[in-house]
Copies of this chain bind each other. A is one copy, B any other.
Amino acid sequence: MSRLDSFIRRLQAQRACLDHAAGLIAGLDGIVLELGLGNGRTYDHLRSLFPSREIYVCERQVAAHPACVPPPGRLILGDMRETLPAARSRLAGRVALAHLDAGSGDDEANRNLAAALTPLILPLLCEGAVLVSDPAIASADLDPLPLPDGVRPGRYHLYRRLSPIRS
């Protein structure tokens, strides 16, 4: 399989997981948190899935297509290891869906970042919230969920926040 094949499958898996997660949180109040804006394509997809929810976006430095940049009040600029703790008073327990795609091509770096961010993300999630993630996450507070049809195990990841949260 070429890297083009693999990239297409990853994007299809990402989209399938987000579409599936939208159904999972349909009955749950709460905001959406996009961890990493990148080029803004996934943010645009989240906007189309959740026209009525507030969508907050964390990003170190905006480099997205101008049509895919969130309004200033919804943009959390800086290193997520610093901005997520700072946003805790504002967002704690309010997030119904979080999506983590660190976006680097380095799998090990992505897993390490996910491990560092998980304890910072958990307190923001409401009860029953869903976390969609490119890297796998190991946490006693997260329950792995079945993937939608067509997504090979390990290609993308879905978790449900367990309740009560222990962190």
- Asked, given contacts A65-B105, A105-B65, whether A12 binds B2 with beta carbons under 8 Å apart, the answer is no
Asked if B3 and A68 make an inter-chain contact with CB atoms under 8 angstroms apart, the answer reads: yes
Asked if A11 and B7 make an inter-chain contact with CB atoms under 8 angstroms apart, the answer reads: yes
Of the four ranges (under 10, 10 to 19, 20 to 34, 35 or more), the interface on chain A belongs to: 20 to 34
- Please give the count of copies of this chain that the complex contains: 2
CB of A167 within 8 Å of the partner chain: no
Asked if B2 and A11 make an inter-chain contact with CB atoms under 8 angstroms apart, the answer reads: no
Enumerate chain B residues within 8 angstroms of A11, measured Cβ to Cβ: 4, 7-8, 11
Enumerate chain B residues within 8 angstroms of A47, measured Cβ to Cβ: 2
A52 to chain B, nearest CB (A): 16
Enumerate chain B residues within 8 angstroms of A65, measured Cβ to Cβ: 3, 105
Other A-B pairs, 11, CB within 8 Å; known A2-B45, A3-B45, A7-B11: A3-B40, A3-B44, A4-B11, A4-B14, A4-B44, A4-B45, A5-B15, A8-B8, A8-B11, A8-B12, A11-B11
The 10 nearest A-B residue pairs measured at CB? A4-B45, A2-B45, A3-B44, A3-B41, A4-B41, A2-B48, A2-B44, A8-B11, A7-B41, A4-B42
